[in-house]
Amino acid sequence: MKSALLLIVISALAAGAEPLFEQSSFASAPGGLPVGWQVWAAREESAPRVYVDEVNFRGEPGALVVSGASNTAASGGWERVVNGIRPGQWYRFVAYYRTEHVAYEPRQVVPRLDWITAEGKRAGKPDYVFATQVVGDWKRVSMDAPAPKGASGVRLQLLMWDCPTGTVWWDDISLTPISPPLPRPVTVASIKYRPRTDASPENNVARFIEVIDRTVTGKVDVIVLPEGITVVDTGKKYAEVAEPIPGPTTERLGEAARRHDAYIVAGIYEREGPAIYNTAVLIDRSGKYAGKYRKVYIPREETEAGITAGSDYPVFQTDFGKIGIMICWDVQYADPARGLALRGAEMILMPIWGGSVPLGRARAIENQVFLAASGYDYPTHILDPDGEVLAIAREQGTAAVATVDLNHRYTDDWLGYMRGRFMKELRLDVPVEPAMLVR
């Protein structure tokens, strides 16, 4: 109770609060460094060159610069301690930067909040700032984060990793107390069902809708159906059930979505000219077709049956957050879920026939996303970003239903906030070429 009251008081104080720290003008003091700023580097020989640029800046004169200066080990940058931090209080960090000759900004440009105790020791784990928005010739980075237990200060770090040829300008930096984010609850229902008798594309769709009407009796935000609902157990070939999108199946699913005031994701087969795609459609609450995902990873069996592969990982903005879609064989490979997470997906919805359950858990964990699967020979379940099962449907004609909070911050005592680390530590800049094997 005392903790809850303290958070209420902190929230009230944070509403409309002035910045705890704010600086938009930088000038060199005696010694060459702006007042209050220091240089951070793991080793002296790997320290980058830092200086104040009084010609190139964003707002008021002067910007902080980090340059690799042709040092192959260059890693480090600027650091400033801000005191007056309260444990449990949320803060918003904002900074602007621009670069030259930086090959891979997501990893090499590293703004970070390193929380410290009154004794100057690390409190909790550092928070990596990753949300980026282009603003003219500059980029705005920001993060909302709570101060961990024991924190009384924070090191604002503006760093550059492993970038001998690059230069980064930093400007307009602030740290402001804010109210903690309100919960963002989303209720998901994943349907477990496989029509076994009198199966036809039309009958299958009708039966899936009947199961939805019978099992989804409360308020939900999104309903997930399995892969290939128009072909399963019909004995038909993919080309025989393929249809345009939008088309007759999306229209019927739209009626169910409108009746339940919920989004629906379902796997069907799509025809576009001579191509047949294994596709998952997204229907919005009003019953309108809202988008589709074409399965990127096509297994041997589908390739031999004439399925064409998709070539994109779209992310869809719904009224509750950003979602991505994977289909079945996509779960066997790392890049579909990774691509969706990098594009901002908070939840992945996965119509699936069958596949590796451990890899499904891995996709949730490694990308720090919720994952809801609806399958035939794969569990119909809902996972949290730690890979824990929140709900599972074990019987035919039932639904796994769970309410998740998309604003909940999942942290690890040893690793910290892994969503941020994933975004800043992922190495997509290292080229990987297949080996040419000669036998």
337 contacts 326 by C-beta, under 8 angstroms: yes
Give me the residue label for tokens 């996509």.
330
Specify which residues 307 forms β-bridges with. 276
Determine the Cα–Cα distance for residues 159 and 144; give it in Å rounded to an integer.
Answer: 19
pLDDT tens for the chain, 439 residues long, are 334 444 444 444 445 689 999 999 999 988 889 999 999 999 999 999 999 999 999 989 999 999 999 999 999 999 999 999 999 999 999 999 999 999 999 999 999 999 999 999 999 999 999 999 999 999 999 999 999 999 999 999 999 999 999 999 999 999 999 999 999 999 999 999 999 888 999 999 999 999 999 999 999 999 999 999 999 999 999 999 999 999 999 999 999 999 999 999 999 999 999 999 999 999 999 999 999 999 999 999 999 999 999 999 999 999 999 999 999 999 999 999 999 999 999 999 999 999 999 999 999 999 999 999 999 999 999 999 999 999 999 999 999 999 999 999 999 999 999 999 999 999 999 988 887 766 6
Q: What does pTM read for this prediction?
A: 0.92
Determine the Cα–Cα distance for residues 97 and 134; give it in Å rounded to an integer.
Answer: 10
Determine the Cα–Cα distance for residues 22 and 40; give it in Å rounded to an integer.
Answer: 20
Q: Domains for the chain: give ranges and CATH numbers.
A: 2-178 (2.60.120.260), 185-415 (3.60.110.10)
Determine the Cα–Cα distance for residues 209 and 261; give it in Å rounded to an integer.
Answer: 14
Nearest to residue 368, comparing CAs of 393, 347, 389?
Answer: 347
